[in-house]
Amino acid sequence: MDILKLLSSDWIEAHRQNWSKKSGLRYYYHNQIFDRIISNIKPGPTLQLGAGPGFFSQYYDGMLNSDFGNRFNVDVELDAHAIPLANGSFDNVVGVDILHHFARPGLALSECARILKPGGMLLLVEPWAGFVGNIFYKFMHHEECNDIEDIWNFAFDPETKLPMEGNSKIPKIIFSEQKKYLSSHLPSLQLEKLEYFGVLSYLLTGGFGKYGLPEKIINLLIKSEVYLSQAIMREVALRVFIILQKK
C-alpha cells in the first residue's frame, strides 16, 4: 500500500497506539516540544491548528483545538488557508508539524496573522532540514524534502494533495533561505526566534514507528545536546521551534 494513502487514512489510530507504548516518545514530546510551546504562550485565547491525535490537547488544557476533519478532541473543523474566525480573536496560535503540510504556506501564515491580536504569538514546531536534517528527511523519512519554486503560493497542488503529504524543507526555505522575503509576504508578523533542537534524542525515539529507546536514555541524550551551540544545532538538529509575533 502507498505510504501516503496509509497515513492519510489510518495514521491517527496508528500514532495513538504507538504513543501509548513508547515512553521515550512521550517523554520527548512532553519535555522538548509541548513544554517549549507552553513556556512561550501568552495569557489569553489560544487556537491550536492541526490537533491531530490530540496529544498536545490532552497535555495542555484551555485551547480551541482545530483540524481539517472531525477527529479526536477537535472543537472546530477548519481549513488553515481560510480560517472561519474573526480578525484579532487570539493571543496565540500554535501548531506542531503543520506548516510543512500546507498546500499554500504563505496564505496559511497570513490567516494566522489575521486572527492574532496585536502582540499575539504564532508558535510552531517543525522539521528542520539543515545539513543533517536534509539527509535524514530526504533519504530516511516518508515525506518529501525538496526545493519548491513558489513556496509562498503553492507548495503542493491543492487539488491533488493528500492530507498527510508533506515537505520537510518548507520551514527552512521560508525562515532561512527566503527569510529576506518575510516582511513583504507577512508584513504584520515579526520573526522572534528560531530555536534548533533534537538530534539523536529525537531520532532515537523512533518517531511514531514501532521501535524506539526508553525515557531514561532519551533524557540522557537531551541533556547531552544542551551543550551544543545553536550555531552547531542549526546544522545538525532535526527540529526547530519558531516564534513569530504580530506587530
Q: Give the 3-state secondary structure of the chain.
A: CCHHHHHHHHHHHHHHHHHHHCHHHHHHHHHHHHHHHHCCCCCCCEEEECCCCCHHHHHCCCCEEEECCCCCCCCEECCCCCCCCCCCCEEEEEEECCHHHCCCHHHHHHHHHHHEEEEEEEEEEEECCCHHHHHHHHHCCCCECCCCCCCCCCCCCCCCCCCCCCECCHHHHHHHHCHHHHHHHCCCEEEEEEEEECCHHHHCCCCCCCCCCCHHHHHHHHHHHCCCCHHHHHHHCCEEEEEEEEC
pLDDT in tens, 200-229: 999 999 999 999 999 999 999 999 999 999
Q: What is the pLDDT of residue 2?
A: 42
What range does the domain containing 236 cover?
Answer: 3-246
Q: What is the pLDDT of residue 181?
A: 97
- Count other C-beta atoms under 10 Å from residue 133's C-beta: 28
Cα 126 to Cα 202: distance, rounded to the nearest angstrom: 12
pTM across the whole model: 0.95
Domain count, the chain: 1
Is residue 23 pLDDT above 60, yes or no?
yes
Over range 21-34, report the average pLDDT.
Answer: 98
Report residue 130 as a C-alpha cell. 539543515
Cα 200 to Cα 53: distance, rounded to the nearest angstrom: 24
Q: What is the pLDDT of residue 93?
A: 99
- Mean residue pLDDT of the chain comes to 94
- The CATH number given to whatever domain includes residue 86 is 3.40.50.150
Identify the weakest region by mean pLDDT among 71-85, 116-130, 207-221: 71-85
Q: What is the pLDDT of residue 163?
A: 81
Over range 137-163, report the average pLDDT.
Answer: 93
Cα 201 to Cα 109: distance, rounded to the nearest angstrom: 29
CA distance readout (Å), 46 to 25, 37, 88, 139? 25, 12, 11, 36
Over range 115-125, report the average pLDDT.
Answer: 98
Q: What is the pLDDT of residue 69?
A: 75
Q: What is the pLDDT of residue 7?
A: 44
Over range 1-8, report the average pLDDT.
Answer: 42
Q: What is the pLDDT of residue 162?
A: 86
Confidence class for position 6, pLDDT limits 50, 70, 90: very low
**Contact between residue 53 and residue 7 where contact means Cβ atoms under 8 Å apart:** no
Is residue 90 pLDDT above 70, yes or no?
yes
Q: Could you give the angle at the alpha carbon of 35 between the alpha carbons of 30 and 40, nearest 5°?
A: 160
Sequence-ordered list of residues with C-beta below 8 angstroms from that of 194, at least 6 positions apart, any chain: 175, 176, 240, 241, 242
Could you tell me which of 108, 106, 107, 8 has the C-alpha nearest to residue 49?
A: 108
**Contact between residue 64 and residue 86 where contact means Cβ atoms under 8 Å apart:** no
Confidence class for position 72, pLDDT limits 50, 70, 90: low
